[in-house]
Amino acid sequence: MAKLHILRYPDPRLHTVAKPVKEVDAHIQQLVDDMIETMHAADGLGLAATQVDVHERVIVIDTSDMRDDPRVLINPELVFKSEEMSFSDEGCLSVPQIFDKVKRHARVKVRALNRAGETYEFEAEGLLSVCVQHEMDHLLGKVFVEYLSSLKRDRIKTKMIKKTRDELRA
C-alpha cells in the first residue's frame, strides 16, 4: 500500500480527461488500494484517479460514518439522473479549505465495475449522490470551482497558489 500525492488546483493536470479501464487487473487493483489509503489518510469522502495524476476512470468513495466501507467505481456511468436538482456545500481535496454551494441532480443511478471487475449498480441520494457526481466530474477534467462565478474562481486560484507557495517555503 502507498499513500499517493494529491494534485492541487489550479494544476493543469486536473483538467485531463480520463480513459476507460480496459481490464481490471492487478495494476488497477493496486491503484484502487492506494487510492483508498490516500482518501482515508486525507479524511476525504471520495477520490478520483485524476487527483493522483492517473488518467483512468477509477473512483473510490466512502461516505460511511465509520469510514470503513469504501466503494470502488471503475468506468462509472450514470444510467439515471433525476430532473430534480439540489444544492449542497462541496469541498475538494484538490482545493483544500474551500467550500461552496453546487447544484447537482438530487438522485442518480450508477453502473460501474467493482474491484473484482464485476458490473454492479446502485442508486444514490443525498451526500453519496453529490460525491458520485463530484468524482465523475474529476474524470472529465472538471473541478467543482468551475461551477462558481469567475470572480470566486479567480480568488480561489490566487489563494491556492499562495497557500502552495507558503507550504513549500515553510
Catalytic residues: 135
CB nearer to ligand GNR: pick between 21 and 62? 62
Interaction between residue 58 and ligand GNR (CB under 6 A): no
Answer yes or no whether residue 52 interacts with Ni ion by CB under 5 A: no
Per-residue mark of binding to ligand GNR, 82-121 (x: CB under 6 A): --------xxxxx---------------------------
Would you count residue 76 as binding ligand GNR (CB under 6 A)?
no
Our CB check for ligand GNR shows the closer of 99 and 119 to be 99
* Distance (Å, whole) CA 11 – CA 161: 10
The CB density around residue 64, as the number of other CB atoms within 10 Å, is 12
**Residue 45 binding ligand GNR, by CB under 6 A:** yes
Cell of 136: 465523475
Among 35, 61, 74, 92, binds Ni ion (CB under 5 A): 92
Rounded-to-integer distance, Cα 51 and Cα 130, Å: 17
* 157 conformational bin, left if phi > 0, alpha if psi -120 to 50, beta if neither: alpha
Please, are residues 81 and 42 in contact by the beta-carbon 8 Å criterion? Answer: no
Name which position in 16, 128, 135, 145 contacts ligand GNR (CB under 6 A): 135
The DSSP H or E segment spanning 40 is: helix 26-41
From the list ligand GNR, Ni ion, none, pick the one residue 44 interacts with, judged by a Cβ distance below 5 to 8 Å according to partner type.
ligand GNR
- Those residues with Cβ within 8 angstroms of residue 107's Cβ, 6 or more apart along the chain or in another chain: 80, 81, 82, 84, 123, 124, 125, 129
Question: C-beta of 58: minimal distance to ligand GNR in Å?
Answer: 12
**Binding site residues, ligand GNR, CB under 6 A:** 44-48, 51, 90-94, 130-131, 134-135, 138
